Amino acid sequence: MPANFAFPTEAEYIRFLPETILILMGTLIMVLEGFAGDGHRKGTHKVALFGLFLAMAAACYAGSNPGPAFSDFLLVDGFGTFFRMLVLTVGILAVLCSPSYLSRERADSGEYYALILYSLVGQCILATANELIMVFIGLEISSIATYVLAGYLRDDKRNNESAIKYFLLGSFATAFLLYGVAWIYGLTGSTNLAVIRQYLQTSATADPALVGLAAGLMFVGFAFKVSAAPFQAWTPDVYQGAPAPVTAFMSAGPKAAAFAVFIRVYITAFDGIAETWLPVVWVSALATMVIGNFAALTQTNIKRVLAYSSIAHAGYVLVAVAAHSQIGTAAAMFYLASYVFMNIGAFALISHLSRQGERYVQVNDLAGLSQRQPVTAALFAIFLLSLIGVPLTGGFFGKFYIFKAALDSQLYWLTVLGLLNSAVAAYYYLRIIVVMYFHEPGHATESLEEPAAGIRVASLVAALAVVVLGVAPSLLLNVASRSSAIGR
């Protein structure tokens, strides 16, 4: 027995409590599913919601006593707690808009919610991971659950396409990440972020070129998960094919968690070799913004438009990462928070608007929505305006802080190009709004029924959050600035 071994303390168990709750609740759902008869399967989403709120409370409680847990494998700090709360919120919103969709597609079953909870386990681990091993395991848990969710409606061809594309490319990307981890371990002798950081700063034996190569390999894996260029190609197909609530979930939760771990790994561990990876992030940020925004211009399918827009938004966050400063980190956190709300809100509404079998997902299918369902149209417009970055929405301040951080770090060209991109982006978002408000109602909007309660709640909450972030950004920005001090 190693002499320095100590049993995990109570505080350490509490720091792992949110994940524990999610695991237990996911398992409970599966057990309930097994015992419930055919007619009683409707209630599992309530169990999932209960579990998510419980996990949120636990995450708060765990965050009140920050520190490492389980031989430094986890590090519960403000940054981790921030992202834990964020992904759990995503989970709640996604679960809220799922039941009506699933019963419409006649696929009501508990496994769906169990998979969402398990996926969130992975994302919570990613948010607090302090070891490359945990990064890998968390990423895999989060991804594999999402692959399955993307193909959840097994008899639907687009679901199958989405799942298989996501799975094959995702596994490939994860392999790159793992290869990078192996290189890092071989070069530095550790997988602990703090130890790697210290090694890279103090030791002269580590060749920056080799470490940079390893960091580059890991960048491939992370860039895929956050759909940054040049690894963004999967995003439109996968987002389009997956069930709309799942798209809502996976365009927000896994992305936020992947950004969290991306920022943590690069700012903490690879800080000492920043000059090798910053140019890469710079180029990738620019490419991501350009590809996302310009490709979105020609799309006619709303899901694809939003998919390309989510690529572009990943680019904005990368600008914040490229700023490589504490303000940049805080800006990225703020941006991700507002992005999560506007994106998930938009997809929640799409899951309502698309109807059974997702027949109505063209931009033109929204024609005249404002006359049939003014509230729905208004909410959708809020999300789109926020995605553009119009003042008084969360998106505006998100972009504002990011470009401010970039200017502070003397990234003038990137800032200018990013702003130009935002202007381009306005075109395709406004096009949707124009169709909704100024076109005559078409065949698609005629037959639209009222949105289900869950979707109503989810979109209202999201819209409220977007507006609050736009009116009083300091509420969240203060939290983000306080918890953005990682690795220092």
Q: Given the rule CB under 8 A, which residues bind other proteins?
A: 1-2, 5, 8, 16, 19, 23, 27, 30, 38, 41, 69-71, 73-74, 106-109, 111, 114-115, 118-119, 121-122, 125, 131, 133-134, 137-138, 140-141, 144-145, 147-148, 151-155, 163, 187, 205-207, 209-210, 213
C-alpha span between 481 and 488 (Å, rounded): 13
Side-chain-facing half-sphere of 329: CA atoms under 13 Å: 27
- Phi/psi for 28 (5° steps) reads -60, -40
C-beta of 246 vs 320, nearer to other proteins: 246
C-beta of 154 vs 488, nearer to other proteins: 154
C-alpha span between 323 and 335 (Å, rounded): 14
**Which residue from 360, 366, 355 is spatially nearest to 105, judged by alpha carbons?**
355
Closest distance of CB 180 from other proteins, Å? 13
CB 312 within 8 A of CB 293: yes
C-beta of 174 vs 370, nearer to other proteins: 174
C-beta of 99 vs 345, nearer to other proteins: 99
Closest distance of CB 431 from other proteins, Å? 36
C-beta of 51 vs 122, nearer to other proteins: 122
Report the DSSP beta bridge partners of residue 187: none
Report the DSSP beta bridge partners of residue 255: none
CB 288 within 8 A of CB 311: yes
Q: How far are the Cα atoms of 82, 195, 197, 323 from residue 263, in angstroms, in the given order?
A: 13, 17, 14, 11
Closest distance of CB 76 from other proteins, Å? 13
Closest distance of CB 117 from other proteins, Å? 10
Closest distance of CB 3 from other proteins, Å? 11
Distance of alpha carbon 117 from its chain centroid, rounded? 15
Closest distance of CB 151 from other proteins, Å? 6
C-beta of 138 vs 470, nearer to other proteins: 138
Closest distance of CB 125 from other proteins, Å? 7
C-beta of 30 vs 464, nearer to other proteins: 30
Closest distance of CB 18 from other proteins, Å? 13
C-beta of 28 vs 114, nearer to other proteins: 114
C-beta of 209 vs 420, nearer to other proteins: 209
C-beta of 121 vs 336, nearer to other proteins: 121
C-beta of 219 vs 383, nearer to other proteins: 219
Closest distance of CB 195 from other proteins, Å? 13
Closest distance of CB 99 from other proteins, Å? 15
**Which residue from 475, 293, 458 is spatially nearest to 389, judged by alpha carbons?**
293
Closest distance of CB 235 from other proteins, Å? 21
Region of 67 on the Ramachandran plot (φ > 0 left; ψ -120 to 50 alpha; else beta):
left
